[in-house]
Structure 1
Amino acid sequence: MAVSQRRGRRIMMTDAERDTYLAQQRTCRVATVSSDGSPHVGALWFVWDGTSLWLYSIIRSLRWSQLRHDPRIAVVVDDGVEYGELRGVELRGEADFVGEAPRIGEECPELADAERLFAAKYLGTETMVHDGRHAWLRLSPEKVTSWDFRKSVAPA
């Protein structure tokens, strides 16, 4: 799994807290890099299976083409308004392309859990609907950093 977080241990999430948090959150921000080194950040829906972050991306997106050229990726999931409410997770590594692109629903056992989780989380169904425009990216993070500033606020 990922490299252990060194800084901010007091406010970092436990593995169980991180897993629960990622299961509850709906939108992440995905950072990629162009061939000239320019960064690109865009919002995307995702699912976390406890080991990998699964991203269902439009294959004609800038994100997709940049990852084809350079698979390095960073993803942030965060929330909170006031300082003492801020919490989030950053995951870094390389994206893997999984299944056919575009995804039309061919048998792919590797996608079974991700598609079940995605369908339940975003579609309210048990089965995935494929539109022929999206495909799957998997991030098995090399580094995970988390923070929960609620842990640093003294109870009243």
Structure 2
Amino acid sequence: MSVTQRRGRRIMMTGAERDAYLAGQRTCRVATVSAEGRPHISALWFVWDGTSLWLYSLTRSLRWAHLRQNPGIAVVVDDGVEYGELRGVELSGQAEFVGEVPRTGEEHAELDSPERLFAAKYFDMDTLPHDSRHAWIRLTPKAVTSWDFRKLTSP
């Protein structure tokens, strides 16, 4: 993962700040592009494991269809109302499909951690219930940009 943020270094999050922020946020926006070049942005729940962003997506969604045609993906997680409160992270790279499609709960060691994190974050459970409509997408970002405008008011 590269962090090549030239402008805005003053407001850039540290690695620890970024990890804590991504762990605490619930919704991201996922940008995809069809093979014909049509963009699509959609909201989705996610988990961050410190290295990769894991998206549990409907397999019959436009997002899924786009990623099957073109695995390029960008994701934004942000919040804040007033200008001085704005903060967020943008991650981009190539989507990877992990596990069976759709996910039925077969043993898959790579999914143990994201499923445990996801179940705890969104359902307050130890294990993730599978509905045979969703499957996992992993984004191990090639580029990451972050901002925390609250740092502008700090001494």
- Name the TM-score class by shorter chain: over 0.9
- Mapping for residues 58-137 of structure 1, pairs under 5 Å: 58-137=58-137
| Corresponding position: 1:46 with 2:46 | yes
Please list every run of 5 or more consecutive structure 1 residues that lacks an aligned counterpart in the other structure.
Answer: none
2: CA distance between counterparts of 1:32 and 1:134? 17
TM-score scaled to structure 1, two decimals? 0.97
Q: What is the identity, as a one-letter code, of the residue corresponding to 2:26?
A: R
Q: What is the identity, as a one-letter code, of the residue corresponding to 2:56?
A: Y
DSSP-derived class of the 1:32 partner: strand
Q: Per-residue displacement from partner, 1:48-83 (whole Å, max 9, x unpaired)? A: 000000000000000000000000000000000000
Q: Percent identity?
A: 74
Please list every run of 5 or more consecutive structure 2 residues that lacks an aligned counterpart in the other structure.
Answer: none
1:35 Cα offset (Å):
1.4
Q: Per-residue displacement from partner, 1:95-153 (whole Å, max 9, x unpaired)? A: 00000000000000000000000000001000010000000000000000000000012
| Corresponding position: 1:8 with 2:22 | no
1: CA distance between counterparts of 2:106 and 2:127? 13
DSSP-derived class of the 1:96 partner: strand
2: CA distance between counterparts of 1:2 and 1:52? 13
Q: Supply the RMSD in Å over aligned alpha carbons.
A: 0.9
DSSP-derived class of the 1:114 partner: helix
1:4 Cα offset (Å):
2.8
1: CA distance between counterparts of 2:59 and 2:92? 21
DSSP-derived class of the 2:126 partner: coil
2: CA distance between counterparts of 1:38 and 1:145? 24
1:154 Cα offset (Å):
4.5
2: CA distance between counterparts of 1:136 and 1:7? 33
2: CA distance between counterparts of 1:14 and 1:116? 26
1: CA distance between counterparts of 2:2 and 2:68? 23
Q: Per-residue displacement from partner, 1:14-68 (whole Å, max 9, x unpaired)? A: 0000000000000000000011111100000000000000000000000000000
Q: What is the identity, as a one-letter code, of the residue corresponding to 1:60?
A: R
Q: What is the identity, as a one-letter code, of the residue corresponding to 1:56?
A: Y
1:7 Cα offset (Å):
1.8
